[in-house]
Amino acid sequence: MKRFSVMLLVLFLCAGLALAESGEAPAADPFAAVTPAMMAVAEADVNEDGTLAVHTGSRLMAAGMDFGDGAAILRLIASAPAEGRLTIRVYVDDPEGAPFITCVFSPITKESRMTKAIDGVHDLTFVFEGEGTFTSWQAFTSLEALETALRAEHSAPFDDAIPTRYLVRCAQEGTVEALDYTAHDYSNDGEAYEKRAFVYLPYGYDPGQTYDLLILCHGIGGNEHEWGLSNDSSRVKAIMDNLIYTGEIKPFIVVTPNGRGGRTSDASAFYDFGKELRNDLLPAVAAKYAVDITDRSRCAMAGLSMGGMQTINIGIGECLDLFSAYGAFSAAPNNGAYGTAAVLNTHPEYDIRMFYNICGTEDSLVGAASAMKVLPSLNDRLDDSNFVLQLVPGGHDFGVWYLGFYNFARMIGAQ
Ligand code: FER
């Protein structure tokens, strides 16, 4: 058996080299998806759908791949069976040398993206270890080129339910920290007082990088604990961990503050939060964490119910210069839509990357005049490219809000 595979391998390598050296085959294009049908295959079976059933010892060779002026990212699409890992080592030119890249697939890793520069014409050899399925590989000149391709693939922007695999504890967990900061009592005399917010930091958080930021607000009866970030079994954390682990979103930071901008006991303090956000909370987040609050394209605000209303009235209405993406989950009724629309109409210089709304069809609190229903008609800045209104079965509750968070995280974090 062993001798047989060695023989096959030698035959395969000779065939590959012959192909590469004959000069007959035109240089192949790695910037379009390269499938097994376009490669020399040894010790693996091609499935009916064109994917490859691989095992330890399987090899693939792509001869004469022309990377031209250079690729920056290689993307491999493969999967491992329910138990176990599939490792793919890619060799450039010399299959006996050191691997150019090594990708490890778990059952929930459907693809791997490796940042590694390569240019010119090369022969690539893929060597497999473990069982699995190999679908294709592709090179990209830049992260932007990869993002464009991913956007085209993910044409459905939101799910109707959170797949359960995103709710389980992830193999790579981020961390949650308390952020204690000094705020001011904007509902009263502006006196300084101490507040606490919770901060989700992605797995492998590196202070040397810059992360996107989401400010996530709670409802009228809640506080900084309501989204559950401080709980050991936090859903927000599980969703973030799993979306990052599967490569569906880029890692970003989530902050759940107390959305009252002052120490009054009634709901009026919610209306003063914009001042705290701008003057106290965002600067405190930026002082401690690797975010860029001067780049609105990297900052988003979302909230449930009262927090959704704040997202519309305060996020868009008062802080359009600070955020570019907004998520309102069952936004509380408010008469701020006209003011918010006026701000949009008078500030065309600030684009709205995304304004996502979700609401339960049995939610009796959110009426026909809610901002999510009337805002698009009051300005010409919101259209199918940046405005989503998702109506789902459900009431004024966390079933809708977690789904809203999941969908919004996928939109703003899309790779
Ligand atoms: C209202 C009813 C409910 C309102 C806000 C709420 C601003 C907020 C509800 C929640 O946060 O759950 O009339 O006015």
Q: Which residues line ligand 1 (CB under 6 A)?
A: 219-220, 305-306, 309, 332-334, 365
Return the sign of the alpha-carbon dihedral for residues 272, 193, 405, 350.
positive
Residue 271 Cα to ligand 1 midpoint, Å, equals 12
Work out the average pLDDT over 292-319: 97
Clarify whether residues 137 and 246 are in a common domain: no
Residue type, 297: S
Name the residue of 220, 226, 258, 401 whose CB sits within 8 Å of the most ligand 1 atoms, as the mutation to test its pocket: 220
Ligand 1 pocket: which of 226, 304, 306, 329 to mutate (most atoms <8 Å of CB)? 306
- Give the residue-averaged pLDDT of 289-303: 98
Q: Tell me the C-alpha distance between 139 and 55, whole Å.
A: 24
pLDDT band at 125 (very low <50, low <70, confident <90, very high): very high
Q: pTM for the complete prediction?
A: 0.66
Q: Whose CA is nearest to atom 3 of ligand 1?
A: 332
User: Quick one: which H or E segment has residue 21?
Assistant: helix 2-22
pLDDT score recorded for residue 141: 96
Residue that has been written with the tokens 């860029």 in this structure: 292
Please determine, for residue 154, whether its predicted confidence score (pLDDT) is greater than 80.
Answer: no
Question: What mean pLDDT comes out for the span 356-385?
Answer: 85
Q: How far apart are CA 197 and CA 289, in angstroms?
A: 13
User: Which domain does 275 fall in, by range?
Assistant: 165-412
Of 108, 141, 174, the position where a domain reaches its end is 141
Residue 360 lies in a domain: yes
3-state secondary structure at position 311: helix
CATH number, domain containing residue 316: 3.40.50.1820
The residues, ordered by sequence, that sit 6+ positions from 152 with a Cβ below 8 Å of its Cβ are: none
Domain count, the chain: 2
Phi, psi at 235, each rounded to 5°: -70, -40
In this predicted structure, the answer to whether residue 272 has a pLDDT above a threshold of 90 is yes
Amino acid letter, 236: V
Q: Which atom of ligand 1 is nearest to the CA of 219?
A: 11
Nearest residue by C-alpha to atom 5 in ligand 1: 332
Q: In the predicted model, what is the mean pLDDT of residues 327-351?
A: 90
pLDDT digits (tens, 9 = 90+) for 204-225: 999 999 999 999 999 999 999 9
Worst-scoring range by mean pLDDT, 62-71, 94-103, 129-138, 145-154?
Answer: 145-154
pLDDT at 335: 67
Which CATH number belongs to the domain containing residue 83 in this structure?
A: 2.60.120.260
In the structure encoding, which two tokens stand for residue 75, read together?
A: 């993307």
Higher-pLDDT residue of 371, 387: 387
The listed range with the strongest mean pLDDT (14-18, 152-156, 331-335) is 331-335
Q: Which numbered atom of ligand 1 lies nearest the CA of 305?
A: 11
**Residue 73: phi, psi to the nearest 5?**
-135, 135
Question: How much distance in Å is there from the Cα of 331 to the middle of ligand 1?
Answer: 8
CA-270 nearest atom, ligand 1: 7
Same domain for 179 and 118?
no
Q: Which residues of 212-227 are buried (b: 16+ CB within 10 A; e: fewer)?
A: bbbbbbbbeebebebb
- Domain assignment present for residue 385? The answer is yes
